[in-house]
Structure 1
Amino acid sequence: MKTSIGGAASVLKWETLERRPDGNFRIFDVEWVRRKHPETGASAEFVVLHTPVWVNVIPITPQGRVVMVRQYRHGADVVTLEFPGGVASAGEEPATAAMRECVEETGYQGSADEIELLGVQLPNPAFMATRCYSFAWYGCQRRAVPQWDEHEIVETVELPLEQVDRLIAAGHIQHSIILAAWTLFRLRTKVVEHSRRL
């Protein structure tokens, strides 16, 4: 069986035979999907979790500092340091959702034409259909009072870019989609810096 990159999609992709919803659990829906491999004939049921679109955003102040939030995460039972983010409402554009989440969590806001899509991630494609859109938002300043929901207690901090790098290297930032967003951002800034030197 071919496994080389570039021409094997038709061999690697399985056919979907049946989809069977199996419950809504507030933050995700569970679905069982029966699939069959077109070449080997192997078939099985696989569980797939569906969620709304996820977003996160790296707010950058006019002074070039990064706005981050500390908050408690019930799943891991830890306080995390991360970028503002959340889920898009039904029909809401990812960029709009990212700006809304940033203002609600931090009160920081920039111009709508200063938000840039860094990339789209698949947080765990083995069993999740989720897409996470990561953005950078430039020129953000504290312009509003944060609007937390009753279950949120958030601490907002401004950090130099290099300090974020050091915190990641030291293992103090472990949230996977935050690490992915920062990688995309740093790759983008390196490309910009390189192009300016040309």
Structure 2
Amino acid sequence: MQPRPSVSSRSLSSWPESSALNSREGCAFPMKDKVAPWKVLDSRYNYRDRWLALRSDTVELPNGRVLTPFHVIEQPDWVTAVAITREGKIVLVEEYRHGARQAVIELPSGIQEGSADPVDQMKRELREETGFASEEWYPLGAFFANAPRLSNRVHCFLALDARKVAEPALEDGEVIVTHEVPLPQFLEELRAGRRTFHGFQGGALWLLDAYARKTRDERLAAVLA
């Protein structure tokens, strides 16, 4: 097994998690042509609450064309985690999602609150939603949730040797069922198309694959199988 350095919340917060994914610097392939940003001529809010704000912009493209309205949804950043138990099972949550009109099984996740450190936010979400905790947290990276229309990013983490330490502490209105599924079984179901998964969380699994290939941690062997 490769040595695993301990990672503190401070080192996690300073991890350059977005540099390779969200900017031109550090890319493994050349990017010679620069893309100019759109010029915002006017901007107004049509709706705003604690969850989101709907903004309508009038923008001018580099070729002079004007688009109006161009709608953008502003939302807080999201956090999500791949939590794996000492027994090699992935911790999943099942919750009704009204947009899909069905119950969906997904990774534990949550909304970034204020200026909280993303990893601290995710630790709270994992414990509140599932009752699980971990002493081994690793940053996987970050990406835009949906760059054309959404303003926020998704911060992804890996929690190893997760264990149940308490009962879930759900908010009013939350009905969540926790599942522990052997990691090889879960990945095989995904690859075979037998499991429909939350779209943005697929990016977290892609980052997990990259992390597993880099570290060769034996506990993630199923990812590379």
TM-score norm. by structure 1 comes to 0.87
- Residues 124-159 of structure 1: CA deviation (Å, up to 9, x unaligned): 111111111111111211012211112111111112
Distance of 2:185 and 2:206 partners within structure 1: 14
Counterpart of 2:208 in structure 1 is 185
Percent of aligned pairs with the same amino acid:
26
The one of 111, 114, 129 equivalent to 1:105 is: 129
Contact 1:84–1:102 (CA under 8 A) maintained in structure 2: yes
Distance of 1:21 and 1:96 partners within structure 2: 31
RMSD: 2.0
Counterpart of 2:31 in structure 1 is 6
**SS state at 1:139 partner:** strand
Counterpart of 2:11 in structure 1 is none
Structure 2 unaligned residues grouped into runs of 5+? 1-29, 218-225
Matches within 5 A, 1:65-80: 65-80=89-104
Distance of 1:10 and 1:30 partners within structure 2: 26
1:128 aligns with 2:150: yes
Counterpart of 2:132 in structure 1: which amino acid?
Y
Counterpart of 2:195 in structure 1 is 172
Distance of 2:195 and 2:172 partners within structure 1: 27
1:31 aligns with 2:25: no
- Residues 147-173 of structure 1: CA deviation (Å, up to 9, x unaligned): 111211111111222111122122313
Larger displacement relative to structure 2 (167-176 or 40-49): 167-176
Contact 1:167–1:173 (CA under 8 A) maintained in structure 2: no
Distance of 2:148 and 2:112 partners within structure 1: 22
1:142 aligns with 2:156: no
Q: CA deviation at 1:67?
A: 0.8
Counterpart of 1:163 in structure 2 is 185
Matches within 5 A, 1:39-118: 40-45=63-68, 46-111=70-135, 114-118=136-140
Counterpart of 1:59 in structure 2: which amino acid?
A
Distance of 1:171 and 1:33 partners within structure 2: 40
Counterpart of 1:185 in structure 2: which amino acid?
L
Q: CA deviation at 1:79?
A: 1.1
- Residues 31-88 of structure 1: CA deviation (Å, up to 9, x unaligned): 11222123x1112231110011111111111223211111111110111111111101
Counterpart of 2:158 in structure 1: which amino acid?
A
Q: How many residues align?
A: 188
Structure 1 unaligned residues grouped into runs of 5+? none
Distance of 2:202 and 2:58 partners within structure 1: 33
